[in-house]
Amino acid sequence: MDEDEVFRLLDGHTSTLPKLFEPVDSLFDQMQCPQCGGEVEKVVDDRAPFIESQVTPNFRARCLVCGCLSTKEGVIIQRGEVKRGANPLEGLSSVDPRNDLSGLPHGRTRGPA
Ligand SMILES: [Zn+2]
């Protein structure tokens, strides 16, 4: 059977595949990374692309921020790398001696002035 014949036979029939993907797409669109809360993309699990009882491929969520890989239930398969400096407040803490200004004389600030 050549390609033209296949298309002629399919002409007039509607594909049901997009309808099967709608709930999956919707689920991943609403999902956030379980590690950092970032936006995720839907990727096919390359270790197990298909499951016997499932029509659609076996999708995983990959975080666009940290690269974390998780299941659609939010179970982390592979942790991502949260880049330092992504959050400007990261690393600041009241117990960090570099941030403790209480020892400075009144009216003075640290650093060049
Ligand atoms: Zn993330």
Please list the pLDDT of the chain residue by residue as tens digits (113 residues). 899 999 999 999 988 888 989 999 999 999 999 999 999 999 999 989 999 998 899 999 999 999 999 999 999 999 999 776 655 444 444 444 444 445 555 555 555 54
Answer yes or no: are the C-beta atoms of 45 and 51 closer than 8 Å: no
Domain annotation covers residue 31: yes
| Number of domains into which the chain is organized | 1
Dist. CA 68 → ligand 1 center (Å): 5
Domain annotation covers residue 93: no
Domain annotation covers residue 27: yes
Domain annotation covers residue 12: no
Dist. CA 58 → ligand 1 center (Å): 20
Domain annotation covers residue 44: yes
The pTM (predicted TM-score) of the whole model is 0.61
Dist. CA 40 → ligand 1 center (Å): 8
Q: How far is Cα 79 from Cα 110, in angstroms, rounded to an integer?
A: 39
Dist. CA 3 → ligand 1 center (Å): 43
State which residues form the domain around 38: 19-83
